[in-house]
């Protein structure tokens, strides 16, 4: 789950719904930034499916007694999380080894951010998966690196949508206040800046997409009062699934 807290409720976003926004962004990526159309469909598949490992985990939120709120992807128990990560990547690999490779690179990058005793075995196992797929497919590693970086950027842009209430000023984001690492600008710019124009429009500079990207955020607003009465599992099931339209636009020139 991705979540943030309001005064009287928690906003809960299933990881697979967040991944759909990543997929919509990757699908609109400017091909010339990769210098190749090769494996672009598999890149899009990797983006849409990169959090499919969370589908079963997110059916029923777990309550974090210590924090007095539901567990999120940031603090979810690692021994459970990494088992499902591997299971999800195994499933994706049956359809596309390349997509599984990209998902594995994304997960190991994030695991390094949350480094602890639970990550070591998972990262070592995934490094072995990555090496085997690269060797088996005889891949262009430079193109793979660009695809992985685009996937990571689109994943983080989707997190920007999900981790705070739409319209939140960028300087209030813990991770993204200084922008996003960016490797695709020939002028040498190394950061992409995202800002909410209002509650539905995000403006980007530079703009790596072919056109304005329209997408939507699915979420549940779970009342704290309902949690107190029913518990988190039933309160989540009772909550209506809502949708919020989002557009990514190029920041206008001054």
C-alpha distances (whole Å) from 228 to each of 63, 204, 224, 234, 237 are: 12, 40, 6, 11, 14
> Residue written as tokens 């494996």?
39
Q: Which has the closest alpha carbon to 98: 54, 45, 142, 150?
A: 45
Q: Which residues contact 86 (CB under 8 A, 6 or more apart)?
A: 53, 122, 125, 126
According to the model, what pLDDT value does residue 185 have?
77
According to the model, what pLDDT value does residue 250 have?
95
Give me the phi and psi of 139, to 5 degrees please: -85, 155
Per-residue confidence of the chain (254 residues) as pLDDT tens digits? 999 999 999 999 999 999 999 999 999 999 888 877 889 999 999 999 999 999 999 999 999 999 999 999 988 888 888 899 999 999 999 999 999 999 999 999 988 776 777 788 899 999 999 999 999 999 989 999 999 999 999 999 999 999 999 999 999 999 999 999 998 877 777 999 999 999 999 999 999 999 999 999 999 999 999 999 999 999 999 999 999 999 999 988 66
User: Angle at CA 9, nearest 5°, toward 8 and 12?
Assistant: 165
According to the model, what pLDDT value does residue 206 have?
94
> Residue written as tokens 């339209």?
245
What the block records as the tokens of 185 is 């600008």
According to the model, what pLDDT value does residue 116 have?
72
Helix H or strand E segment including 198: none
According to the model, what pLDDT value does residue 69 have?
97
According to the model, what pLDDT value does residue 55 have?
92
According to the model, what pLDDT value does residue 164 have?
96
According to the model, what pLDDT value does residue 254 have?
60
Interhelix angle 40-49/141-162, rounded to 10 degrees, is 40
β 201-205/241-250 pair status? parallel
> Residue written as tokens 């990262």?
123
Give me the phi and psi of 135, to 5 degrees please: -70, -40
Q: Which has the closest alpha carbon to 242: 18, 49, 58, 13?
A: 13
According to the model, what pLDDT value does residue 186 have?
73
Domain ranges of the chain: 2-250
């Amino acid at each position: 789950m991705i979540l943030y807290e309001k005064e009287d409720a928690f906003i809960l976003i299933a990881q697979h719904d967040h991944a759909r926004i990543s997929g919509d962004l990757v699908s609109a990526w400017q091909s010339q930034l990769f210098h190749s159309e090769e494996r672009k469909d598999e890149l899009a598949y990797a983006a849409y499916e990169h959090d499919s490992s969370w589908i079963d985990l997110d059916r029923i939120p777990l309550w974090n007694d210590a924090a007095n709120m539901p567990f999120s992807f940031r603090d979810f128990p690692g021994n459970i999380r990494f088992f499902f990560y591997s299971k999800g990547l195994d499933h994706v690999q049956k359809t596309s080894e390349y997509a599984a490779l990209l998902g594995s690179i994304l997960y190991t990058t994030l695991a390094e951010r949350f480094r602890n005793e639970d990550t070591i075995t998972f990262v070592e196992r995934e490094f072995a998966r990555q090496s085997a797929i690269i060797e088996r497919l005889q891949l262009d590693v430079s193109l793979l690196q660009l695809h992985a970086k685009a996937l990571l950027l689109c994943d983080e842009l989707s997190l920007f949508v999900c981790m705070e209430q739409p319209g939140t000023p960028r300087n209030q984001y813990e991770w993204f206040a200084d922008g996003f690492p960016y490797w695709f600008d020939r002028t040498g710019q190394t950061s992409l800046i995202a800002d909410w124009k209002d509650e539905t429009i995000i403006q980007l500079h530079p703009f790596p997409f072919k056109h304005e990207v329209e997408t939507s955020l699915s979420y549940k607003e779970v009342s704290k009062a309902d949690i107190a009465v029913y518990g988190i599992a039933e309160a989540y099931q009772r909550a209506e699934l809502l949708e919020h339209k989002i557009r990514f636009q190029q920041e206008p020139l001054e």
